[in-house]
Amino acid sequence: MKLAKFVCDALGPATGVVEEDRVVPLWTTDGPLRSLERILESDDPVSMADRLRRPDRSLPLAEVTLRAPLDRQEVWAAGVTYKRSRTARMEESESAASCYDRVYESPRPELFLKATAHRVSGPGQPLRIRADATWNVPEPELTLVANSRVELVGYTIGNDMSSRDIEGDNPLYLPQAKVYNQCCGLGPWITLVAGMPPRSEIGIRLQILRDGHPVFEGATSVSEMARTFEDLLGWLARDNSFPHGVLLLTGTGIVPDSEFTLRAGDEVRIAIDGIGELSNPVVQG
């Protein structure tokens, strides 16, 4: 089952179940359900969503505007969970190369606060390159959706926009390289756990278009990830509470070659098996 947040003239902000090319709104006695929290917090999200479906009010997806599938959750991210990321970080930061090497091997993962809801862009909304950065990349990441008990409920697509020159200059600049306005893409919806393929069959693909033509294409598989989802969520939850739930980007396994940097006007497309495609235009400054 796929759960989306959307806006349309008839309903205003609403939530729904995506079924092929239509969205079936979720309804309560007060009218359209506006946040996903109630479903994600339920012991049985699929049954609850089923009970709230209003098929008589279903709409073509083409007639609604999808929004990022989060409410009030914090958005966290894991780093250096794939070999490709370890190599890229060691190249960009000679002085701190051993930090990245060690964290890849260490039991404790790298975890950082990536975004709050107002810094997140949904499908089709712009993602930003910092005005003071010169070397920027998107990071396509499978994103775990967990409830307030930090139980895995579903998955979405995340884009951990990153300024490699800022982080490469000094790893203590990581929060500035990672956290700023429109620094994180999420969407297009959440696939609940039962609807995902096995971990070994989840492919991740990145395409970057410039003037409508591909300037970078890459692919990886979640089977390349050095850590399990349970391990990452377990570390995240240590002495840390999430009253509204939390989303966790699980790290990138695709990093363009060092010569590549994103430009304003580019379009970033990320596809993940079992979920769909997230596409965003890029702006700067």
Closest approach, Cβ 18 to Mg ion, in A, equals 26
Which of 104, 93, 76, 110 lies closest to 225, judged by CA? 104
3-state secondary structure of 149: coil
Select 133 or 192, whichever has its Cβ closest to Mg ion.
Answer: 133
Region of 41-49, 72-80, 129-137, 202-210 interacting with ligand DO4 (CB under 6 A): 72-80
Residue 2, SS3? strand
- How many H-runs (helices) and E-runs (strands) does the chain carry? 7, 21
Could you tell which of Mg ion, ligand DO4, none binds residue 37, using a CB distance below 5 to 8 A set by kind?
none
Question: Would you give the binding string for ligand DO4 spanning residues 81-120, x where CB under 6 A is met?
Answer: ----x---x--------------------x----------
Q: Residue for token digits 């990672």? A: 178
End-to-end CA distance of the chain: 38
139 is a contact residue toward Mg ion (CB under 5 A):
yes
Q: Which stretch binds ligand DO4 (CB under 6 A): 59-67, 76-84, 182-190, 210-218?
A: 76-84
C-beta of 85 vs 191, nearer to ligand DO4: 85
Compute the distance between CA of residue 146 and CA of residue 154 in angstroms, rounded to an integer: 7
Q: Which of 106, 15, 102 is nearest to 64 (CA)?
A: 15
Find the shortest distance in angstroms from Cβ 277 to ligand DO4: 20
92 binds Mg ion (CB under 5 A): no
Binding of Mg ion by 160 (CB under 5 A): yes
CB under 8 Å to 160, separation ≥6 — which residues?
Answer: 77, 114, 138, 139, 141, 178, 183, 184, 249, 252
Q: Does residue 122 touch ligand DO4 according to CB under 6 A? A: no
Give the contact letters, 226-255, x = binds to ligand DO4 (CB under 6 A), - = no.
-------------------------xx---
Element (H, E) at 231: helix 229-236
Nearest residue to Mg ion on Cβ basis: 160
As a whole number of angstroms, the distance between CA 146 and CA 244 comes to 9
- Determine the residue with CB nearest ligand DO4: 79
> Of these, 25, 32, 79, 138, which contacts ligand DO4 (CB under 6 A)?
79
Binding region for ligand DO4 (CB under 6 A): 77, 79-80, 85, 89, 110, 139, 160, 251-252
